[in-house]
Each structure stands twice: as structure tokens, then as C-alpha cells.
């Protein structure tokens, strides 16, 4: 296997690849509720979920734990695994949007709230419905623009 | 009737607005047997509908374009040589895959392509780490990983695919390189 995909200095953790997708479905529903009700506490709660996912890992969020304990035992097929880092990155992006949305909500800027929640919802929905890998799409562009 | 009334219930953005409206109607002597429906259903659900519609359209387009070989992104006059790639080119065609350590589809693409070239003695698969070849990435305007360039024996790009291509797409692209 090419060493490009296996950089030895990073300790790699692999998770069941179906977990993040399940979490994305729950996230989509929660964000849809936040968008429709314009309720700031829903976005605060989801922001905390994103924070856990971005720092500890998506497998430690309530959705991830739900997947592990309730859904996964009922799945028959062999688990496809993936590197934890792309889903972790996606959670960090989600947290960024949720933070902006929360700031908007608490300062009365409802347009900021709606737009930020809208973007987070789009990202979660794309992951859930199309298995869109946000990390893969954004990562190289970020590296290109931030390196010399 | 009560259910409809509660659905259309005025969720006024400010209480002042509601008060003003009530005063206005009282002054106009207009009797409204139902609470004023300010299309709040639409207001509440419109952003959601817009987001999901746009995201779906983008998602469908993105899914379809994964793995599809596009021949309009080649940089005119640009040649990939053995010196640049670090390995000799295939005698007929070469598939140059750009990957990063941060991407699951890159793994799948690498598996597929490296397996496919085993029985082909005139086609080679070269694997490049995008992060350590940023100059090349910028020259070729590579924006995501995996991106696989299909080049002929002279190092000219004939097509490229973003995302994991299907076996048939790869075979068709390679067949076109003569």
C-alpha cells in the first residue's frame, strides 16, 4: 500500500464508516428543526455535539454513541472502516457554523442565524444523502491557499 | 378550525407589530373572525425548502460528476515528465493519481487503479501525494483529492477524473489513448 496514504507519524484511529453518516442524518433533522423554529437553544445543543465531535471524535457524540449501541448491533454487513480525521474535520466545520449561528441568535441578528444554520444543514444533508466528503473537497484547497 | 387558526397563528416578530395591526383593524372596523395569517408557515419553512432544494441539486450534480473523465481541464502545452513525477511513464498511457492522507475515497481509488494496471503492460499507475507536490498541484489546478490524470506516452493530459472512477470509465478513458 502506498506510503502516501499511511503517514507513519500520525497515530490513526479507524471508525465504522457508517457511523458518521448516521450522525449526519440526525444532525440534518436537528438543524432543520433549528431553522424552522429559529430556536437558539437547539443550535446551542447541536453546537455542543459538534464540539465533542471535533475535539474527541464523532464516535463520542450522542449520535455516535446511539449508532454504536443501538444501530450497529442490528447491522449484519461487515463494517467498512475509515480514518477518523475527515469526519472530525467535518464536525469542526459544523461547529464553526453553529458558533456563528449562536452569536447571531443571541445578538438578535436573525439573518446571520438563518444563513449559518442553512450552511450547516446543507453540509449535513449532503453527507447524509450523498456521502459527500466535505474534508476531501475542502482540504486540498485550504492547503493550497495557506502554504507557500 | 382551531387547528388551522393555530397554524396560522401570528408569530409576530415583535409584539408592537401585532398591537399596531390590531389597532389598525379596529379603526378600519374590519371584523376578522380568524387570527391574521401572515404566511408564517411560509416564512418558517421557506429557508428550509430553499436549502434542501439547492443542496439536493448540488448533491445530484456532484454525485454524477464523480469519476467522470473530463477532458477540458488540461493545461495547454503542459507536459508531465518522468523527472517531475519521479517515475517512468507507461509506454502507452499513465494514470497519475493525486491523493492526500486525509481522504477515504483516495484509498478506494488507489486500490482500484493499482489492481487494474496489473495485467496491463503498457499502462502505469503513479501515485502522488498532493500536499508534498503543491507546485504541481497549483500548475495543474487540482482542487480536490482524489484526482486522477490520464496522460498519454508524451505526458500530455487527455482527461482527468475527480473522485473514484468506475472500472468502465477507466477502461473507456484508457482505450481512448492510442
The complex's ipTM?
Answer: 0.86
Q: Output the pLDDT for position B42.
A: 77
Q: What is the DSSP letter of B133?
A: G
**What are the structural domain ranges in chain B?**
2-65, 69-175
Q: Output the pLDDT for position B121.
A: 93
Residues on chain B touching A132 (C-beta within 8 angstroms): 59, 62
Count CA atoms closer than 13 A to B30's CA, side-chain side.
10
Q: Is B75 exposed, middle or buried (0-12, 13-18, 19+ CB in 10 A)?
A: exposed
The rounded radius of gyration (Å) of the Cα atoms in chain A is 16
Whether residues B59 and A132 touch (CB distance < 8 A) is answered with: yes
Residues on chain B touching A10 (C-beta within 8 angstroms): 101
Of B44, B102, B142, the CB nearest to A85: B102
CATH topology of domain B69-175: Glutaredoxin (3.40.30)
Mean pLDDT of chain A: 89
Chain A interface mutation, best of B54, B55, B117, B130, highest count of A Cβ atoms under 10 Å: B55
What share of chain A has pLDDT > 70, as a percent? 92
pLDDT in tens, A8-56: 555 678 889 899 999 999 999 999 999 999 999 999 999 999 999 999 9
3-state SS track over chain A: CCHHHCCCCCCCCEEECHHHHHHHHHHHHHHHHHHHHCCHHHHHHHHHHHHHHHHCCHHHCHHHHHHHHHHHHHCCCCCCEEECHHHHHHHHHHHHHHHHHHHHHHCCCHHHHHHHHHHHHHHHHHHHHHCCCHHHHHHHHHHHHHCC
Q: Output the pLDDT for position A1.
A: 39
Residues on chain A touching B161 (C-beta within 8 angstroms): none
Checking if the pLDDT of A7 tops 60, the result is: no
Whether residues A136 and B144 touch (CB distance < 8 A) is answered with: yes
Please identify every stretch of chain B with a pLDDT value under 50, giving residue numbers as ranges: 1-8, 12, 30, 32-37
Distance CA B83, CA A138 (A): 29
Residues on chain B touching A140 (C-beta within 8 angstroms): 100, 130-131, 137, 142-145
Q: To which H or E segment does residue B148 belong?
A: strand B147-152
Q: Rounded to the nearest 5°, which phi and psi values hold at A83?
A: -60, 135
Count CA atoms closer than 13 A to B158's CA, side-chain side.
18
**A141 CB within 8 Å of a chain B CB:** yes
Whether residues A2 and B110 touch (CB distance < 8 A) is answered with: yes
Enter the pTM of the model: 0.78
Are B100 and B106 in contact by the 8 Å Cβ rule? The answer is yes
Q: What is the DSSP letter of B130?
A: G
Whether residues B62 and A126 touch (CB distance < 8 A) is answered with: yes
Are B35 and B22 in contact by the 8 Å Cβ rule? The answer is no
Q: Output the pLDDT for position B165.
A: 94
Q: Output the pLDDT for position B35.
A: 43
Residues on chain B touching A129 (C-beta within 8 angstroms): 55-56, 59
Are B102 and A141 in contact by the 8 Å Cβ rule? The answer is no
The residue of chain A nearest to residue B40, with distances taken between CA atoms, is A36
Amino acid at each position: 500500500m502506498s506510503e502516501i496514504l499511511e503517514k507513519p507519524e500520525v497515530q490513526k484511529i479507524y471508525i465504522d464508516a457508517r457511523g458518521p453518516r448516521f450522525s449526519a442524518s440526525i444532525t440534518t433533522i436537528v438543524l432543520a428543526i433549528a431553522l424552522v423554529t429559529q430556536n437558539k437553544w437547539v443550535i446551542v445543543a447541536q453546537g455542543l455535539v459538534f464540539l465533542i465531535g471535533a475535539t474527541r471524535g464523532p464516535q463520542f457524540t450522542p449520535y455516535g454513541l446511539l449508532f454504536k449501541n443501538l444501530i450497529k448491533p442490528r447491522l449484519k454487513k461487515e463494517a467498512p472502516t475509515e480514518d477518523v480525521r475527515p469526519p472530525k474535520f467535518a464536525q469542526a466545520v459544523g461547529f464553526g457554523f453553529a458558533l456563528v449561528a449562536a452569536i447571531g441568535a443571541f445578538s438578535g441578528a436573525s439573518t446571520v442565524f438563518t444563513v449559518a444554520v442553512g450552511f450547516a444543514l446543507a453540509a449535513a444533508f449532503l453527507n447524509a444523502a450523498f456521502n459527500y466528503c466535505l474534508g476531501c473537497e475542502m482540504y486540498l484547497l485550504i492547503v493550497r491557499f495557506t502554504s507557500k | 378550525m382551531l387547528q388551522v387558526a393555530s397554524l396560522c397563528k401570528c408569530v409576530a416578530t415583535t409584539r408592537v407589530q401585532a398591537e399596531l395591526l390590531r389597532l389598525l383593524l379596529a379603526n378600519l372596523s374590519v371584523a376578522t373572525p380568524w387570527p391574521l395569517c401572515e404566511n408564517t408557515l411560509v416564512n418558517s419553512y421557506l429557508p428550509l425548502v430553499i436549502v434542501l432544494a439547492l443542496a439536493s441539486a448540488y448533491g445530484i450534480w456532484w454525485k454524477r460528476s464523480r469519476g467522470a473523465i473530463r477532458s477540458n481541464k488540461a493545461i495547454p502545452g503542459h507536459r508531465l515528465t518522468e523527472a517531475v513525477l519521479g517515475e517512468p511513464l507507461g509506454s502507452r498511457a499513465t494514470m497519475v493519481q493525486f491523493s492526500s492522507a486525509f481522504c477515504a475515497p483516495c484509498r478506494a481509488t488507489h486500490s482500484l487503479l493499482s489492481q487494474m494496471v496489473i495485467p496491463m503492460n503498457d499502462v502505469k499507475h503513479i501515485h502522488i501525494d498532493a500536499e508534498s507536490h503543491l507546485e504541481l498541484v497549483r500548475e495543474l489546478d487540482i482542487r480536490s483529492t482524489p484526482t486522477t490524470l490520464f496522460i498519454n506516452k508524451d505526458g500530455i493530459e487527455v482527461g482527468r477524473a475527480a473522485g473514484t472512477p468506475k472500472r468502465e470509465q477507466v477502461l473507456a478513458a484508457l482505450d481512448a489513448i492510442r
